Amino acid sequence: MATGSVQDMEVHTENLANSNMPGYKRLESSHTAFADVLDAQVSAPEEPSDPISVNHHQGALRSTERSLDFAIEGDGFFVVSDGRQDYLTRNGGFRVSADGTIVNSLGMAVQTTTGDLRIPQGENASMLELDDELNLRVGGKVIGTLKVEAVQNPSDLDQAGTTLFVNNGAETVDAECRVLNGFLEQSNTAIFEEMVGMMTTMRNYEACQKMLQTVDDAEEKMMSKLV
């Protein structure tokens, strides 16, 4: 119970800290029934732990009217690369690097179907446009097709950062989505729910402390009688 309360508090804190992060997916913790934990501890004692999962439900879409902001309506992820590995993300807030490459906040290059997305020299990134076929245009000229990857079960992805995921074997499928230019997907965290969850967790932890104190007092009295 104590371990679960600490874990819950960490989850709520992480969700609140990233409630304004575009593309952030809230964490959720689940707990095993006490009877099952007790049975497991009797048969094979070990430190109890409950899984933390990622809620991949879509967040609200907010208009920014910024040409380098993108949001996915439906399934799928943008693909970014650090030059060694590809990562998946729903955070479509991008910028232009010094060499003209479109990158995310961590400097990872946004991927097209043929490689890194770059703005041609002399062209203005503010003129970047996206059509329904995910073709990116600057000044009427196609400079690449935005790469969007979808998986059968997003929960199979491994989290690699605040808004980054890695596909280590999850089954890929055709992305059924629409990509909007000039929009950002907001975090799917509900601040009010997280605050209520934190208060509930604190009460549970306090109850656990009182229970442990009661057990300690009872043991102390029993030992004093034995002595």
What is the pLDDT, as a whole number, of residue 23? 97
State CA 146 to chain mean position distance.
Answer: 21
pLDDT in tens, 191-213: 888 888 878 877 776 777 677 77
> Cα(182)–Cα(107) distance, rounded to whole angstroms?
20
140 or 4, which is more confident:
140
CB burial of 92-111 (b: ≥16 within 10 Å; e: otherwise) equals bbbebeeeebbbbeeebbbb
* Average model confidence (pLDDT) across the chain: 88
Given a cut of 60, is residue 8 above it in pLDDT? yes
What is the pLDDT, as a whole number, of residue 202? 74
**Least confident window among 24-28, 148-152, 212-216:** 212-216
**Radius of gyration, alpha carbons of the chain:** 24
What is the pLDDT, as a whole number, of residue 15? 94
> Cα(161)–Cα(182) distance, rounded to whole angstroms?
24
Burial of 177 (0-12, 13-18, 19+ CB in 10 A): middle
114 or 218, which is more confident:
114
73 or 198, which is more confident:
73
What is the pLDDT, as a whole number, of residue 96? 96
The greatest distance separating any two alpha carbons of the chain, rounded to the nearest whole angstrom, comes to: 91
pLDDT in tens, 23-72: 999 999 876 555 555 566 666 666 555 588 999 999 999 999 999 999 99
List the structure tokens of 211.
């229970």
3-state secondary structure (DSSP) of residue 61: strand
> Cα(70)–Cα(94) distance, rounded to whole angstroms?
8
pLDDT in tens, 82-108: 999 999 999 999 999 999 999 999 999
